[in-house]
Amino acid sequence: MDASPFCPHCGAPQLRLPEYEQQSDGAENDTTGTVPPPNPRQVEWKAAIQSALLVAAVAAVLSLVSARVAAVSLVSWLWTVSASMITLALYQRQRPLAWMDAGVGARIGVVAGLMLVSSLAVAGAAGGLVSRFVLHDMAGFDAELTQMIHAQIDKASAAAPQPPELKTFLYSPEARAGMMIAGFAMVGAFLLVISTIAGAVGGMLRTRRKVSA
């Protein structure tokens, strides 16, 4: 590189800037004052987690209320099934320039499902403890659960005789607690699958709307 302060063609003096100043000026000229959108297929997890937490908290409250007020059961069920869709709507409201497609929607749906299952588990456990030890109104639920277990054991014993030790264990409170946990685990897995699928579908539909606009 020629370090002469004069132009080699016309002999006019010329001003040379250091390389770091040229790079700085170029960065300033490119600044528009707005936050650029995230890279394609990149999820802004802070906004996604905040949206999922809000939806899960509302679902937990609705589940507790529906246990006392039957009219709220339908609203609670609809909110729970639509949790990932609502999470996507809140996420795009916070980050309108964020990339959205089926893959991003599915990943946010997984987060929404995990938050939903966790919040429902905590709400169910807390509600059960209050009902059993504070309100003392779990007798009806215990009777129905015991009757259902006895019916299933009697049906199985009719097909194949069961050892008395097994029957004694199945009638125990520990076995009933294990059955309840297993049942909630199955429901939680179902909700997680539904939330993931709904998130993927919602992300795909939002991508199509954005492209057609």
Q: Give the Cα separation of 55 and 111 in Å (integer).
A: 11
Report d(CA 39, CA 53) in Å as an integer: 24
Measured CA angle at 140 (ends 168, 167), to 5 deg:
10
Find the angle CA(46)-CA(188)-CA(169) to the nearest 5 degrees.
140
Q: 125-176 pLDDT, tens per residue?
A: 888 888 878 877 777 776 777 788 778 777 877 777 777 777 777 777 777 7
For 91-106, what is each residue's pLDDT tens digit? 999 998 888 999 999 9
Please report, rounded to a whole number, the percentage of residues in the chain having pLDDT higher than 70. 77
The pLDDT, as a whole number, for residue 5 is 66
pLDDT at residue 21 in the model:
46
Token pair, residue 204, equals 């795909």
In terms of residues, how long is the chain? Answer: 213
Q: Between 125 and 26, whose confidence is greater?
A: 125
